[in-house]
Structure 1
């Protein structure tokens, strides 16, 4: 009996000592939760500010016709049977303001170099027979425009846009040389200010954080005005206006905040490590 009681006591003591030991072996280690990776945010860019621009172009001019007064017998009016203007170059500059990412305005001045003119007219020569003349001249113009543009959006540094402008042009015609069977005659060229407007489309490309390459097309219309003065019982003459189609290229320099500049990232430091 004593042996049974002793064995029971020994078993109880062993269980009391070994239980905590084995229980300690199965305690789970603490779980360490790492902080998430640092979040990086980009500062929003506020677009806007002044810019300057310089442009060159190659343009084709279309002569829309001309009328003139005749003082023969009987007096009346005449018109050019044909007229053609040669292509030419122009150069310009301007100053503008980028209002926001999608809207800007500028003032531009373009000097249109000499475009040669060749035309013909029909009339009655001194002998009373019909005759045809050959007329040559040229014109230059200073085109001043106030423009507004919509920048549609920017993809890979390229920003397509559309725009329109309104203003005036100072047009100067050179001496008109008139050659007929009766001889050669000259008419002083007309000059003066005229109303003008334009429409354009193109795209710009970021070369640096402030410089953009601007390439596009512009259509401009110059209203009619005096083409030449009176001489040899003919004149004055008035052209019906000039249309030009321009292929343009230039550079824009942005003084304010440009959409070409990359936003500055803001990095947040990781938070503390939490444990359970």
Structure 2
């Protein structure tokens, strides 16, 4: 009996210490997994390509018997692309919350127009009846299909909630295909009996180097869908534009007559990005 009483007294003495020890042992916190920023995404864009100017040169083929050949090379006074719409899409991968890359394909089809002075040998032709200072020039028109295939890298700045500004750069290739060119001579001071020159020549196509810079911001619409609004500058390098007309070819002209000096393309665009997290 005495032993039982002593055991009960000892247990009662230790109870406060056991409760205090239980208070010291706090529960282990549950660590939330870090958000996964990596994954594939697809994109689709529409844009507005602003009117832009470029430069170019063309070879004057002398048709005079016995001296057929390139007489001189002339520069355009004006060569421009008109404004138009652009369409594009691509697939990309996000490596982290600040870095992603994608491959894109874009297309636009602008009107192309040019103006260049009549060569000296044309102005002194007796049929024109011009003085040296009289105006004479060629108006030219065409269209061009322009495709760009680019590899791009971006730095995102995810510090503003659902709005994420970004900067990007890209490099790739442009495929430029010209339609036929129409040429119309404009000669206000020519003799009334003179019929102004008019001709059509075939367009050429080629692949060129292209580079790009981008800036914009994406706005989260849902966890996976974002609206992307931004500006893109694309530099397309120089290349061939048009062949000689039929009359020049009949006198032995071959190859490319007109070359452009490339394009500086300014585009604002908006699109959607869908991420597969």
Q: TM-score, normalised on structure 1? A: 0.75
RMSD: 2.6
Distance (whole Å) between structure 2 residues aligned to residue 145 and residue 94 of structure 1: 9
Give 2:182's aligned residue: 177
Match of residue 161, structure 2, among 151, 156, 162: 156
Distance (whole Å) between structure 1 residues aligned to residue 58 and residue 93 of structure 2: 44
Match of residue 47, structure 2, among 39, 57, 77: 57
Q: Secondary structure of the equivalent of 2:97? A: coil
Match of residue 241, structure 1, among 253, 256, 262: 262
Aligned residues: 225
Deviations 1:214-238 (A, max 9, x none): 1000000111111110124486100
Give 1:117's aligned residue: 112
Does the CA contact (< 8 Å) of 1:230 and 1:236 recur in 2? yes
Question: Any stretches of 5+ residues in structure 1 without a counterpart?
Answer: 1-32, 257-276
Give 2:224's aligned residue: 210
Distance (whole Å) between structure 1 residues aligned to residue 35 and residue 177 of structure 2: 46
Equivalent residue runs for 1:256-267 within 5 Å: 256=277
Question: Which stretch of the first structure deviates more once superposed, 152-161 or 101-110?
Answer: 152-161
Match of residue 75, structure 1, among 59, 68, 71: 71
Give 2:9's aligned residue: none
Give 1:222's aligned residue: 236
Match of residue 132, structure 1, among 137, 152, 172: 137
Distance (whole Å) between structure 2 residues aligned to residue 63 and residue 70 of structure 1: 23
Distance (whole Å) between structure 1 residues aligned to residue 269 and residue 159 of structure 2: 20
Post-superposition offset of 1:183: 2.4
Deviations 1:120-159 (A, max 9, x none): 1112255364621111112121110000000122312111
Match of residue 91, structure 2, among 89, 92, 95: 95
